[in-house]
Amino acid sequence: MNKVILALVYISSIVAKASGLTQKLMQRSNLVKRRSLLAAEEKEKEKKNELKKTDKSKSKLSSNDESKNNDKKTEKKSSKLASKDDNKKSEKTQEKKSLKSANAKAEMKKDEKKEEKKDKTEKKSALKSRRLSALKNKETAFAVAKDTKETKKEELKENKKEELKGSKKEEKKEDTKDKKTDKLLAKPLVSNLLSEIEEENESDLSANLLSAEGGLEEDEE
């Protein structure tokens, strides 16, 4: 029983605490709402004051704008007059500038023509120099070709002379060889001919002797 009583007391204390907390929370929420309402009211007041200030400033601005517009009108008039004067001055200055630019353009054209003439003369001189160099190169090439031809001809002539000399020497050698061979071949032939001639002579002498002896015998008879 004592435990039950203690539990009920504890629960009742918890409930009391919770009720106290809820009251405090309600009070706090009410304070927050009041503060928000006060803040909204203050903001509305500030807005109204700002609107009043803006209206005043607008009225001031409008008055200032009117004065400014008047000032602008006067400024425009003066600016128009000044612009006319400026336009006249600018026209004169532009005329002067145009004259200067025309003179400058004419001078530029003259300079360009001079440069073109210079370029043409330089190109002509370069072409002349190239042609002269080409002609010189051709002349040198022809001269070299002639020299080479002449040297080749001389070499051929010398070679032919040497060949002829060699051929003549060989012919002489061959002639001497042929003569020697002819001599060697002729020796036995000559000896044979001589022997044949001697034999024929001997036969003729014997025949003559016989004929002579026969004639003597006939005479003796």
Summarised one tens digit per residue, pLDDT across range 104-140 is 788 888 888 888 888 888 888 777 777 777 777 777 7
Q: What is the pTM of this model?
A: 0.25
| Average confidence score pLDDT of the chain | 70
CA distance 191 to 159: 47
Structural domain contains residue 202: yes
Structural domain contains residue 194: yes
Whether pLDDT at 221 is above 50 = no
Per-residue pLDDT, 161: 78
- Residue 192, C-beta contacts closer than 8 angstroms, at least 6 positions apart: none
Q: Please compute the mean of the pLDDT values over residues 15-44 and round it to a whole number.
A: 77
Domain total in the chain: 1
Structural domain contains residue 92: no
The angle subtended at Cα 212 by Cα 211 and Cα 218, nearest 5°, is 90
Domain that holds residue 185: 178-209
Higher per-residue confidence, 29 vs 17: 29
Question: pLDDT over 90 for what percent of the chain?
Answer: 0
Q: Please compute the mean of the pLDDT values over residues 48-69 and round it to a whole number.
A: 71
